[in-house]
């Protein structure tokens, strides 16, 4: 039976883990395809909230639920760094392959030497496009018409390994980063279950192919990246809001108070046949132009109108645009900054 170590940390990784664990249980009914997750590598619990309570990663949380419900004994490892001591613990689990999705740590040759088949990684982009930590956000910011995911052999270079499986996913221009990542985690998780069954049956890694095309890279996201520049176009701000959902979120300021714009769309995309919504005006960028009861709050940008439909004052609850305007009667005419 193929013995697997899974590495991951955030919620999207936990979604893939759930699919893989359930399939691993079913694989026991087909002995020649059987595989089992024997260990989990995930980030250590991190402090959250006012009282800095240590909260485990979503991957650790789901694994504990699985162990308790199934009376399983998957070992959970949460090292800050993987050194000789951690490698010795992993070696005792006698793993055959490492499966990784958003683990958050760089691993090297000594780590890979512990595994008969090395490692495979789920990456939510069409490699070599968007190597790095934030490919989903990058594809939205660049207003791509398609994205996808890749399952690749892990190598020392970040996201440079050969491709085992790749799938394209079309985009409508309305998706958030959260939605795309969730989709990739589900479809990618299914792809990994098929790959693991194949390895178990053939005792070898599937055929792979070199990455082709010009590589591109995406950078880490900072909290301040969510600040809206109203001189940008409505379509760019629309993409920014979707790319930074749920984190870090997008925001502006009104008289020194932070206002988050949670949902919005460029008028050029959603109100093509609606003459009650102007597509552009000569107003100063950031001006709240109007409140359209059927569409939302109209805001002038550097090019085009943005229609905001869900907003949130600092330290307050999120509100739809109608509820928001009930408590902000003098909002029209405000210049956001």
Residue 272's pLDDT is 67
Angle subtended at Cα 117 by Cα 113 and Cα 122, rounded to the nearest 5 degrees? 105
Cα separation, 311 vs 319, whole angstroms: 6
Residue 271's pLDDT is 67
Residue 4's pLDDT is 98
Residue 254's contacts (CB-CB under 8 Å, 6 or more residues apart) are: 334, 336, 337
Contact call for residues 184 and 127 (beta carbons, < 8 A): no
pTM here?
0.94
Q: Single out the residue of 187, 178, 221, 205 nearest to residue 112, CA to CA.
A: 205
Residue 124's pLDDT is 98
Task: Output the six-digit token pair for 217.
Answer: 């890279």
Tell me which DSSP letter residue 217 carries.
Answer: B
Q: Count the Cβ atoms, other than its own, within 10 Å of residue 269.
A: 15
Cα separation, 294 vs 307, whole angstroms: 11
Residue 309's pLDDT is 98
Q: What is the mean pLDDT, run by run of 10 residues, along the chain of 337 residues? A: 97 97 98 98 89 92 98 96 95 98 91 97 98 97 98 93 97 96 97 98 97 95 97 98 97 96 93 78 97 95 98 96 93 96
Q: Single out the residue of 48, 49, 43, 35 nearest to residue 4, CA to CA.
A: 35
Residue 48's pLDDT is 83
Residue 189's pLDDT is 98
Angle in degrees, 0-180, between the axes of helices 11-27 and 58-70, rounded to the nearest 10: 30
């Amino acid at each position: 039976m193929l013995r697997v170590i899974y590495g991951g940390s955030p919620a999207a990784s936990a979604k893939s883990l759930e699919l893989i664990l359930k399939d691993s249980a079913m694989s026991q009914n087909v002995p020649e395809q059987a595989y089992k997750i024997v260990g989990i590598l995930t980030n250590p619990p991190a402090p959250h909230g006012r009282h800095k309570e240590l909260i485990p990663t979503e991957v650790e949380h789901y694994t504990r639920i699985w162990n308790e419900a199934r009376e399983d004994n998957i070992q959970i490892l949460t090292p800050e760094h993987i050194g000789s001591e951690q490698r010795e613990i992993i070696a005792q689990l006698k793993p055959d392959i490492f499966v990784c999705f958003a683990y958050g740590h760089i691993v090297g040759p000594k780590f890979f030497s512990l595994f008969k088949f090395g490692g495979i990684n789920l990456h939510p982009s069409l490699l070599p496009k968007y190597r790095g930590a934030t490919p989903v956000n990058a594809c939205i910011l660049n207003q791509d018409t398609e994205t996808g995911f890749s399952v690749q052999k892990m190598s020392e270079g970040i996201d440079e390994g050969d491709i085992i499986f790749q799938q394209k996913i079309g985009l409508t221009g309305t998706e958030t980063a959260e939605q795309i990542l969730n989709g990739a985690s589900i479809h990618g998780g299914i792809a990994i279950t098929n790959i693991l069954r194949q390895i178990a049956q053939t005792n070898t890694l599937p055929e792979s192919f070199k990455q082709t095309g010009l590589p591109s890279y995406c950078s880490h996201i900072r909290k301040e990246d969510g600040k809206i520049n109203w001189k940008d176009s409505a379509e760019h701000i629309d993409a920014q809001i979707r790319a930074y959902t749920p984190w870090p979120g997008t925001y502006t300021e009104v008289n020194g108070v932070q206002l988050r714009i949670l949902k919005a769309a460029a008028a050029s995309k959603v109100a093509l046949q609606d003459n009650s919504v102007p597509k552009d005006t000569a107003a100063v960028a950031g001006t709240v132009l109007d409140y359209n009861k059927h569409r939302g709050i109209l805001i002038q940008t550097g090019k085009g109108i943005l229609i905001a439909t869900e907003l949130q004052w600092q330290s307050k609850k999120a509100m739809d645009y109608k509820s928001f305007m009930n408590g902000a009667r003098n909002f029209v005419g405000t210049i956001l900054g």
